Each structure stands twice: as structure tokens, then as C-alpha cells.
Amino acid sequence: MASKATGRKLVYDFHEGNRDMKGLLGGKGANLAEMTNVGLPVPPGFTITTEACLSYLDHGTFPHGLMLEVDENLRHLEEAMGKKLGDDKDPLLVSVRSGAKFSMPGMMDTVLNLGLNDRSVQGLAKQSKDERFAWDSYRRFVQMFGKIVLDIDPERFESLLDEAKATKGEGAKDTDLGAEDLRKLTEAFKGIVRAETGEDFPQEPRRQLEKAIEAVFRSWNGARAVAYRRQNRIPDTLGTAVNVVAMVFGNRGEDSGTGVAFTRDPSTGEKSPYGDYLPNAQGEDVVAGIRNTLKLSELAQIDAKSWDELRRGMDSLEKHYRDMCDIEFTIERGKLWFLQTRVGKRTALAEWVMAYDMWNEGLISPDEGLLRLDPNRLEQLFKPVIREDQKRGEKPATRGLNASPGAAVGRVVFTADAAVEWAERGEKVILARRETTPDDYHGMIRSQGILTSAGGTNSHAAVVARGEGIPAVCGADEIRIERGVSAFSVNGTRVQEGDWVTIDGTDGTVYLGKLDLADPALAKAVTGDEQAREERIWKAFEAFMRRADEVRRLRVRANADTPEQAANARARGAEGIGLCRTEHMFLGEERVAAVRKMIFADTKEEEEEAYAALLPLQRGDFVGIFEAMDGLPVTVRLLDPPLHEFLPNHVDMAVAVALAGERGDAEAIVRDEKIPLEEAREILRKVEELHEANPMLGLRGVRLGIVKPGLYAMQVRAIVEAACDRVEAGGHPEVEIMIPLVATQEELRQMREELEPAAQEVLTRRGVDLPILWGTMIELPRASVVAGEIAEVADFFSFGTNDLTQTAWGFSRDDIGKFLAMYEERKLVSGNPFVTIDRPGVGRLMQTAVGAGKAVKPELHLGICGEHGGDPASVVFCHEILLDYVSCSPFRIETARLAAGQAALGTAEAASK
């Protein structure tokens, strides 16, 4: 049956779907259909499509015909189960669950036990012969419906539940409440609903279902779901499906239970079952951390039959999906049911280990393994750990579960809002909670680490921490979080907000105080540590990086300004330097003095004296860089920033001179530096002379070279002399000289006419034959548009996308943070354009320049040297527009290499389809 409004079905029975329908049925619905069709025991049900959700969100009402399709599929479900929804004598109960195309764990809403009311709870009690189970189910339903559908503060329900448990004694659990306790609690919960809404709790099952479907639709635009999508770059236009599934119950006694299973360890990648099991419980108990869970493997002793069936199902699903699977299951009185599966989220470490192992097992090809790796998470493999000597010398205050690997140090805070507030002040924080909820997400992602006193390895805190790469320790049950007070106690010690704590999410230890962190094994392996190179993660890393290097077309260079940076970059696989910024070589007392002498020179002779003092200093820097990059290209950018940056701040200088004059002092004090007053006045005069209203668009780059021709000539002589030194020492320098901020062909032509003779004079004098390439940064919109003209006098282009983004958007990268969040929220920008290349705008300018430049000079060499060179999405774009190389920070070299390899494989894969 199709909707008249859309002409398409809005509801699909599980038998009608498959895993390829994620866009329409959501990941959960598509995978429930897939498990049904491969013969696993799945409770019957149906899925309402994402199209229905989007229609509801657009118009505020259900699409025409939706509830007719729901009713028809509900009848089929009732026939399959032999029960009717909410029947007084033998009620069918259902769950109503969200499920988007991309997994968003805990970010949207679920309602369980729907169909219970004051009459059907009696029928459930009679049929199950378990009055406690019936009232526990009804209590849970009223609580969940009140929170999710009616938007009642969940603390209203939780406080009453805590009071009820307290009557059973200290440390009592919800399982200690009897049938009569739960009946009274349910009545109290219904009283909360009446007080908060002015209406009785809804008793008509179909009305309950309709309102629950609406609530799940609305949860797509809930604050936590929106924040999660923004953080993980999931489009807002997808919507969520709604799955209506026959309830099976894990809270029917000790022969029942619920759990979450991974076919491999999502933290380490080890090929062994991993997860949590909770006897006599429903699914939300595992996720919410209300009770501490058992290890999944303990199910083998509790219920060997169900354990064997679960293992067979896990093996079947992993082979079917050819990936690690995350499975939710329930056991009802010895009967195993599969409630959900999906390709499981995993840590960055596990991601590499699993891909490597599955490749070696023959489950996937090496290229499939490479494409499964997330280059945005590669840096997590280089995360710090607690220094070994401190690990041995310090006794942990307590231990919890190793929920997400990595060590973190920070000041403890107790609310998500506090985490944000402290982080915005520049503090590193550890968020400590009894357990987290989706409402804590905004604070979790601003924290260095997460610590909870309850919950298992698949609690909300653990899942979010692993997904975001945040170290976490969960279920540290010796910690007592004090309600209403920003403090916790552990084994007799009280810890208050702002105190330092250290956590190790790899082994679950918690330390009071601030411990020192050290580099992880992979970082050591990259620098040649032989012991670290025996680790499996290194073997996986080495194998996949080798494959990425084999298939990628893009070369990867580094932005490096010192010999040490250059050596580090080369060790990480850099194939040259794409940006060596010479302004960083002018720092230091002796160099600043020489630069100031050049700035204050009144005659050509004084200026030449300053250049003569600077030349040997610059030459020494370049010798070290050419040595570190011997045999590889080094692109040196001539001085770019305006000269006033080498002088004291205008305001500081003016204030210091004025104060010294008023007091009659002989010296002006500028930021603790004492300067003779007359000299200070002369400096102030020069600062005022050089002052610009908008210095980033003022006298800088090529304009500086034109106004101060001796400056660039000195730099070129220093570069070429250093190259000659390396040649005479047996080296093989490859020199590329880049002139910044060019907007016209004539600027570059005139500079080359002035500078090439200076370079040739050095080569002739030293008797060295060395080819030198001359090029420019394309970092202005005008340069992009007239790139064909500029290419006539250039050997290469390098896109300076930092300034190109600033000048294309009119955004300051230093100030965009003041309004970026609002722009993203209102969808005025899709993301930070200084992080990922803005394809429609800046990207179009780059494509224009590439096309025009290559048309004039096919051999023109093209690269990028802005910060975008290390952003995986931007690397893919650079591959697509046929740049020759990207250049990035030394610490992002591996990320760029991996992204470039994936870009090549992705292009080949697309071409083959």
C-alpha cells in the first residue's frame, strides 16, 4: 500500500527490506530486515521510512495515509504474534525506536513497552504469571513515555525511584523492589504526568503509538542530535526512520537478560567476543549504566545454550557483513532474540588492527581495508600515555572499566556545562559523572577525558568516548558522586571541582593528582624504536601506509621552517618541503636587531650593512634544512609578513614613551624591556610610519620585495649559497623559491628579473650548476582569475589557502570563532572554511587557476601549502583537481598520505562502476 501524497510506501515490513536500503529505512531498520532475511531470530516488526519523517518535519503533520499503512502493518504484526496491541487479557507490546542512515548512538529517542495501560498490565501479569515483571514493565513505560513523548524532566521520575530503593536499605537496586512497590511507583509516576501535563496518562494503545512515532520524528531535531550531526558531519536532510518491533523481555527473571555484543574488541581490535550482559534487565539498563554489567563471556556460565547460539550468530553476522558487528540481544526465558546489528564503532587503534587482521584472514582485500581507515582519527594513534615510571610509582585511587583508550589529565568538573565553561577559559578538564546521558554530549566533547562511577563498556559514556576519541574510564564504582555538590569521594579521599585527576582509559585506572604523560608506542615506532615496532598496531600501520604510498598520485610535503622540523617530517614520510616560512628565521635577539637596523636605515649603505648581517644567519638555517631534505624539493617562501611585526606593538610603545616622558625617566619600559627614551621615541616614530589600518592587505609579500628590493635579494643569495654549500659537501639540494601574495603577472615578472641574476651570480662564483624553480603562492582571488597570465612567468603555483579563504570569504581566520557556531547552526556555512576547503567558492577559484595555468603551461607544477593540506576532505579535493602535491604540518604527514591513497582508490573504484 502506497501513500497517496508521495506515491511511495511509507511503511515496510522487516521481510520487505534489506541492508542496502539504509537511506530509506535507516541503519537499524535495514539491518533488522537483513537479519530477518538471513534467518536469525528477530522479533517481527515494521519500519516507517525517513521520507515520512522529513514530511512530518516539513509540515508538522503526518503525511497523508501514514497511519493507514501503520495500521495495516500492525495487523500483520498482531497476526504474527497471535496477540493484539494493548489487549486486556494477553497484550502485544512494542518498542518504538529511532534509526537514521548513519549510526547516532543515544542521540535520538526510543520508547519501550508501548501498549501497557491500567487494564493490559493486569493481562500481562496473568499471562506471564509474574506480577512484579508486569508492574516493572508498566513503570518503565510511564517513565520513558513521560520523559521522551511528554517532555517531562526525567529527574522527577528518578528521584521517586531513588526514594523507593532507599526504603529497601542502603545500596538497594531496582531489582529489590517488589510488585506492590512497583505498582505504587507507577501510580506516583502517573501522578507526575497529570501534574505536569494536566491530563491523565494516555490509556488508548493506538494513541500511545501515534504520539511515540511523533516523538521519535521530533528527536531528529533535538539539541543533542543536532550537535552530534554537526560534530560528525552528518547532513541534517536525512531524517530518521521509526522501527516498531514486538517486545521481548529480558526482565522476566534470572533466565532472562539483555546485552550488547561485539564480534571483536572495539577498543583493541582483538578477535574475541566483547561486550556486556545484564541478567533480568531491559536494554536501557545496559546503556544507561543504572546497574553495573557483567562481562559478556560470563553468559557462558549463566546460560551455555544461549551463549553458543549467540556465538554462532555473531560469527554468521561478521562473515555476512565482512566487518566487526555490534549486536543488541535479549534472552527471554532461555530464548535468544537478536534486536539489532550494525557495523560496530571502534577506536582508532582497533580500526587499524581489525582491518589488518581481516585482510590477513582473507575476509577483505588490502584496498578494502585501506578504505575503512578514517584519516581524521589517525592522530589518535599518537595519543599520550601515562609515563611508565609514574605508572609504576603511583598507586591508583581506584579502577573502573577501560572504556576508551588513552590517558588524560585535567581538572575535574561535574557537569557538562561546567566542562564547557572551564574549557573556554583554556583549562583541561575531566568530566566526572555517575553516568552520562545524551544531554551531556556538549560537555563530553570539550573534555580531555570522561570518568563515570556507573555503567559498562557499552554505556552512553563509553560509546560516545570511543566514537570521539576521548579517553574514558567507566563503572568506577568505588567513586561516590555527591548529589547537589561538585565533589566525589573515593576510599576516604574527597575530590572537589578543580582538583587534578589523571585517568587511563586503556587499563581503567584512576589517579588523584596530575601525572606526566608520554608518547604512545606508535609515536615511538615512527621514530625508530625497535621494541615499539614489534607491536601489531605498527605492523598494521606500516602495511597500510605502504599500500597508500603505492596507489596515491599526490605527493606529500611538509610545512617546516627549521632543520628539526624538516628531519621530523622526513621521518614521517614527507617527500620534500612545500612551505619553508623565512619570517620565522628572523626571530631571536641578534636577528631582530639586524632586521630593525634594516627598517631604520636612512641610507642604502646602512640597509646593505643590515642585509650583510642577516645573510650568514639565514644561510646557516637553510643549510640545515637542505641537509635534512637532501634529494627532495624544498620550497622557500620569501618574507611575507609586514615589517611592523618586527617592531614593538604600537599601543605599548606609545604608552611607554608617554609614561617615561611624564615621569622624566631616561628609559621607556616596553613589556619589561628597557629602551633609552630617545631610541624609544625613534622606534615609535617608525612604528607610526609603518602602521597600517589593515596590515594583512597592506605592505607585505611581493609588495615588500618591491619596496625593499635588497631584502629579497639577500634572502635569495642566502638560499643559493646554502644550496652550494650542500653541493660541495656531496649533497643534492632541490631549490624552489616562492614569491608570496602575487596578484599580477608583472609583479612576478619584475621580481624574477631582479632576483634571478642574484642567484646566478652566486652559482657562477661558486662554480655550481644547480637548477632553481621560481613560482608564486596563489592566495588572492585575482591571482586565481588571471592565473593563465601569471603562469607564463612561473615554474610552479602553490595555493596559499589560508589567505585565499580569508580574501574570498572576507573572514578573518583569527576572529571567525566569534560567530562560526551561529553561522553553522543557521546553516550559513557548512563548516569552518579554514579547516576544510570551501569547494563551491574557494575550490572554484582553485579549479579556475589550475585550468588556466595548465592551459598556458602544461608542465606547470601545482601544490597547496595552507593548513588544508593536512585535512583529509581537502586532500581528496586536491586529488580531484589534479594538484601534484599537498603540504602540511609534520604531524599530519601520515594523515595526508593515507587520505591521498584513499582518494586514488576511491577515484578508481568510482571509475570502475
Catalytic residues: 460, 865
| Look-up of cell digits 566533547 | 445
Axis-axis angle for helices 745-766, 709-728 (nearest 10): 40
Adjacency order of strands within the sheet including 500-504: 398-399, 509-512, 500-504, 407-413, 429-433, 449-452, 472-474, 401-404
Query: Which residues lie below 8 Å from residue 521, measured CB to CB, with a gap of 6+?
Result: 529, 532, 535, 537, 538
Distances (CA, A) of 42 to 93, 256, 461, 743: 15, 16, 28, 65
Q: Rounded distance, CA 284 to CA 199, Å? A: 27
Q: Rounded distance, CA 215 to CA 149, Å? A: 5
Q: Rounded distance, CA 429 to CA 414, Å? A: 10
Distances (CA, A) of 578 to 588, 607, 712, 798: 24, 30, 19, 8
Q: How many CA atoms lie within 13 A of 488 on its CB side?
A: 28
Judge whether 461 and 289 are in contact, CB under 8 Å.
yes
Judge whether 89 and 328 are in contact, CB under 8 Å.
no
Q: Rounded distance, CA 678 to CA 666, Å? A: 8
Name the DSSP letter for residue 227.
Answer: H
| Look-up of cell digits 614527507 | 574
Q: Rounded distance, CA 147 to CA 22, Å? A: 28
Q: Rounded distance, CA 550 to CA 64, Å? A: 55
- The single-letter code of the amino acid at 453 is S
Judge whether 444 and 436 are in contact, CB under 8 Å.
yes
| Look-up of cell digits 528527536 | 219
Query: Which residues lie below 8 Å from residue 600, measured CB to CB, with a gap of 6+?
Result: 606, 682, 686
Environment class of residue 18 by beta-carbon count within 10 Å: exposed (0-12), middle (13-18) or buried (19+)? middle
Within a 10 A sphere around the Cβ of 304, how many other Cβ atoms?
A: 10
Judge whether 900 and 880 are in contact, CB under 8 Å.
no
Name the DSSP letter for residue 221.
Answer: T
| Look-up of cell digits 546497574 | 291
Pairing of strands 11-13, 633-637: unpaired
Grid coordinates belonging to 473: 574510564
Q: Rounded distance, CA 250 to CA 45, Å? A: 18
Within a 10 A sphere around the Cβ of 730, how many other Cβ atoms?
A: 7
Q: Rounded distance, CA 190 to CA 187, Å? A: 5
Query: Which residues lie below 8 Å from residue 163, measured CB to CB, with a gap of 6+?
Result: none
Pairing of strands 257-262, 325-332: antiparallel
Q: Rounded distance, CA 511 to CA 490, Å? A: 11
Query: Which residues lie below 8 Å from residue 93, measured CB to CB, with a gap of 6+?
Result: 85, 86, 113, 114, 115, 116, 124, 137, 246, 247
| Look-up of cell digits 531524517 | 239
**In degrees to the nearest 10, what's the CA dihedral of 516, 521, 524, 526?**
-140
Judge whether 871 and 903 are in contact, CB under 8 Å.
no
Which is it for the CA torsion 536, 538, 542, 548, positive or negative? Answer: positive
